[in-house]
Amino acid sequence: MDHLIQIPQVDRAWEPIPEPYVTLGHLAALGTDLRLGTLVSPVTFRQPGVLAKSLATLDVLTAGRAFAGIGAGWWEREHAAYGLPFPQPRERLDEVERAIETMRALWATGTKPYAGRRVSLPETTCYPRPIGRLPIILGGNGSRTLRIAARHADAVNLPSDEATLSAKLAELHTACAAAERDPATLAITVLDVSVTGEDREDVARRVERLRGRTSAAAYVRRHHAGTVDEQRRRRDRLADLGVGTIFLALPDLAGASDLDRLRPLLTP
């Protein structure tokens, strides 16, 4: 995530949430084969030219494994706390389009001036350049966001709830048709904040430990709680809907054993 204060959906406000681009630079030095990026960076946090520079650098440091996750932002509190403007939704979505256009211009070959729909630059000197096409993942599922994704993004991050996902995919296909784009060229990703147990009893124990004041039934629905086998079947259904990448967040991640428990889900 790219947030300045820990969001209430995850934990208490005073729980640490590291600045992502410093953290991604650290991860880049560890020599993994992971793709690295944010899900997602609000365009209200950073000027798009500076963000383009950070992402191009990350791409070079990772030998072409960076991705650019951006969105319009949604949490007014963190903007106010850090002295950042928080425009109305229409203006923020305008900024999303401006950010994509700026990044693409700076990542293109050469250093010539650029004049586009929302951006004019006297030069496009941005070195290092990304190694290849640095994919832009647009987060959000509002109608205008989907139209922007259909026109400009490489991927769009949608809700992992199957009913909501199906409805948003239908809307996205309509947006792609209006943009004269083959929807197969727009990758679909989801963020899945799920609880996984080895068996039903293990699932129940984990839910009880995590749910706080939320009812167990509501927590199970919200976090798609289930066994490893149930989660694998759910992921198969998401793939059938067209999801190519699942960003997995674990509410109960405490150590390596929690990853070991999920190994069957990480095997192709």
pLDDT for the residue 252: 87
pLDDT for the residue 227: 95
**In this structure, what token pair is assigned to residue 149?**
């994704």
pLDDT for the residue 268: 66
Compute the distance between CA of residue 54 and CA of residue 21 in angstroms, rounded to an integer.
8
pLDDT for the residue 257: 82
> What is the bridge-based pairing of β-strands 120-121 and 114-115?
antiparallel
pLDDT for the residue 38: 97
**CA-wise closest residue to 157 among 225, 236, 249:** 249
pLDDT for the residue 253: 85
What's the per-residue H, E or C state across 217-244? HHHHHHCCCEEHHHHHHHHHHHHHHCEE
Domain ranges of the chain: 1-139, 194-268
Cite the DSSP H helix spans in the chain: 20-28, 48-61, 76-81, 89-107, 143-152, 162-178, 200-210, 216-222, 228-241, 256-261, 263-266
pLDDT for the residue 59: 97
How crowded is residue 262: how many other Cβ atoms within 10 Å of its Cβ?
A: 16
Compute the distance between CA of residue 245 and CA of residue 173 in angstroms, rounded to an integer.
18
Per residue of the chain (268 residues), give pLDDT as tens: 999 999 988 888 898 999 999 999 999 999 889 999 999 999 999 999 999 999 999 999 999 999 999 999 999 999 999 999 999 999 999 999 999 999 999 999 999 999 999 999 999 999 999 999 999 999 999 999 999 999 999 999 999 999 999 999 999 999 999 999 999 999 999 999 999 999 999 999 999 999 988 999 999 999 999 999 999 999 999 999 999 999 998 888 888 888 888 888 877 6
Which architecture characterizes domain 1-139 according to CATH? Alpha-Beta Barrel (3.20)
Q: Determine if residue 149 is left, alpha or beta; phi over 0 gives left, psi from -120 to 50 gives alpha, anything else beta.
A: alpha
Compute the distance between CA of residue 223 and CA of residue 175 in angstroms, rounded to an integer.
29
Task: Quote helix, strand, coil % in the chain, to nearest 5.
Answer: 45, 15, 40
Indicate the SS3 state at residue 107: helix
Residue with tokens 């319009």: 72
